[in-house]
Chains A and B, each alone.
Chain A
């Protein structure tokens, strides 16, 4: 789905846009509801006319926490556990997406703060090629 040269955790989650890589969702052509990831049926109006759409790369923090222990499998992140932030980020007019946050300090996280999508490595790779997933970083713009 994307032109990026890095290894992604799941290619079907992403798409390229002029502003950079974005999450790929679905939009219902009947009721305009969005989903992430893509799906064939609309959970809002129960229809099945869904089209692929790139989701907004910017939004605001809707809720957040910090993961305080290394999860069990199927988590495949780095063996050397480091706490990671997790949040729900509201993408205006679309939906609220769950994602890792690059910030892990509770003192620096607040509901309503602006956020921008970026890709982050999340696991050790025996070949030295880490896999990347999506995360949100605090910030106002795409630059």
Chain B
């Protein structure tokens, strides 16, 4: 068993890049990551990667180099990047390979995602009658969560306000204009209680990471970041997830609860030791729920933490320091890896205007995707 280190990171700016394909953005990110680690593509012993709408990741080798490496396509909805990373972690940890690359990228058309019910094993009626809409699910889920935990809906605008404030400090973010909580609350209602600016938008972008055995990391960089724990779970009977024509009357924890607990256990680090966290914020309510489901705080405690500024970059519990999905948009394949990219910047001390003060030592990431999968990592410098 080898520990795993991240020795190279690369990114293509998120947002909209007219005239540049998703694949070209992926190649850009891959070259940046290779350059960052001081290696070349022929040094890679494996690749894992994926996109939802921009092509098969394995075909990127026609541009990066036809070296014969084993390259596996990953497709796990919004958790594609997190899943690719977990596969890479296992490949190195098991001793199968010493060094490899993970690439996530995407390019989506404007507007909400549309999905074929058949791909999810659901009858056509579910889409035809207007129930298969992700934005709607998020409204339904947060409505129940606010009710169960006695949280006032005002917190949803405060979360989005922070996201845009952080995005404005991040040169790689898509949305770089601050918006006030009042403007966010007054925006058109998409699915009650969530307004337009409380949702992220499908976008474009790419991220690549070079990973290697931890004991060889210093051959590539003097600032390695260690992947101490990485875990992935799917939903259990009784959890409430997207695209559910029905749910069980008995409640079970979301897959995030188990994935997060497993990642912390593998790392031997507790949630109270996290210095900077990136959690899936497809919409404001998701950040609220995921803060607690990951174990970073208690259910119901979020309102107070947010009100007192704890989740700000300068707070004692910084969350989504790069602006999260709300400010960066969501290129499905790249989204989970953006969180890891941001964590590496933070742990290296390279995050510039959005750097968390005090030399953060422990980072945490959480990505969540349809139809109920969650991938978490614990990172240290």
Shortest CB–CB separation between residue B128 and chain A, in angstroms?
5
Measured CB to CB, the closest approach of chain A to B134, in angstroms, equals 10
Report which of A9, A63, A73, A97 forms a contact with B143, defined as CB distance below 8 A: A63
Q: Does A100 sit within 8 A of B, measured CB to CB?
A: yes
Residue of A76, A77, A88 contacting most chain B CB atoms (<10 Å): A88
**Alpha-carbon distance A86/B130, docked complex (angstroms):** 9
A88–B244 Cα distance when bound, in Å, is 10
A-B CB pair tally, cutoff 8 Å? 124
Closest to A12 in B: B123
A96 touches B116 (CB 8 A): no
Contact B123 A10 (CB under 8 A): yes
Contact B248 A74 (CB under 8 A): no
Partner of A75, one of B128, B139, B147: B128
In the assembled complex, which residues on chain A have CB atoms less than 8 Å from the CB atom of B124? 10, 74
Residue pair B247, A96 in contact (C-beta under 8 Å):
yes
Q: Are A98 and B130 in contact (CB under 8 A)?
A: no
- Say whether A67 contacts B248, CB under 8 Å: no
- B241–chain A nearest beta-carbon distance, Å: 12
- CA A111 – CA B131 in complex, angstroms? 19
Chain A residues whose C-beta falls within 8 Å of the C-beta of B192 in the assembled complex = 64-66, 68, 106
Whether, in the assembled complex, B73 has its beta carbon less than 8 Å from a beta carbon of chain A, the answer is no
Interface centre among A33, A71, A106, A123 (most CB of B within 10 A): A71
If A10-B124, A71-B114 touch, whether A36 touches B246 (CB-CB below 8 Å) is: yes
* B190 beta carbon closer than 8 Å to chain A: yes
Categorize the interface residue count of chain A: 35 or more
Given A74-B116, A95-B249, A111 and B127 contact (CB-CB distance below 8 Å): no
What separation, in Å, do the CA atoms of A96 and B141 have in the docked complex?
Answer: 13
- Which residues of the other chain, B, contact A87 by a CB distance below 8 angstroms? 140
Interface positions of A from 14 to 69, Cβ below 8 Å from B:
25, 33-37, 43-44, 62-69
Q: Which chain A residues lie closer than 8 Å to B136 at the CB level?
A: 65, 67, 86
The residue on B at minimum CB distance from A35 is B246
Q: Is there an interface contact between B143 and A65, defined as CB atoms closer than 8 Å?
A: yes
Identity of the chain B residue whose Cβ is nearest the Cβ of A70 in the assembled complex: B130
Q: Is the CB of B128 within 8 A of A100?
A: no
Q: How many residues of B contact A (CB 8 A)?
A: 35
Bound Cα distance from A29 to B237, whole angstroms: 17
Chain B residues closer than 8 Å to A13, beta-carbon distance: 123, 125
Chain A residues near B248 (CB, 8 Å)?
Answer: 33, 43-44, 95-96
Q: Which residues of A contact B246 (CB under 8 A)?
A: 25, 34-36, 95-98
Beyond A64-B143, A67-B130, 17 additional contacts (C-beta under 8 Å) are: A12-B123, A13-B123, A37-B123, A43-B237, A43-B248, A63-B143, A65-B136, A65-B192, A68-B191, A72-B111, A74-B117, A77-B129, A86-B136, A86-B139, A87-B140, A98-B245, A122-B129
Which residues from chain B sit less than 8 Å from chain A, CB to CB? 111-112, 114, 116-117, 123-125, 127-133, 136, 139-141, 143-144, 147, 188-193, 237, 244-249
Cross-chain pairs A/B with CB under 8 angstroms, 24 sampled: A10-B123, A10-B125, A13-B123, A37-B245, A64-B143, A64-B192, A65-B136, A65-B139, A65-B192, A67-B133, A72-B112, A74-B127, A95-B247, A95-B248, A95-B249, A96-B248, A98-B140, A98-B246, A98-B247, A99-B131, A106-B192, A122-B129, A123-B128, A133-B129
The 7 A-B residue pairs with the shortest CB-CB distance, nearest first, are A65-B139, A74-B127, A63-B144, A10-B125, A72-B114, A36-B246, A133-B129
Which residues of A are interface residues toward B (Cβ below 8 A)? 9-10, 12-13, 25, 33-37, 43-44, 62-69, 71-77, 84, 86-88, 90, 93-100, 106, 111, 122-123, 133
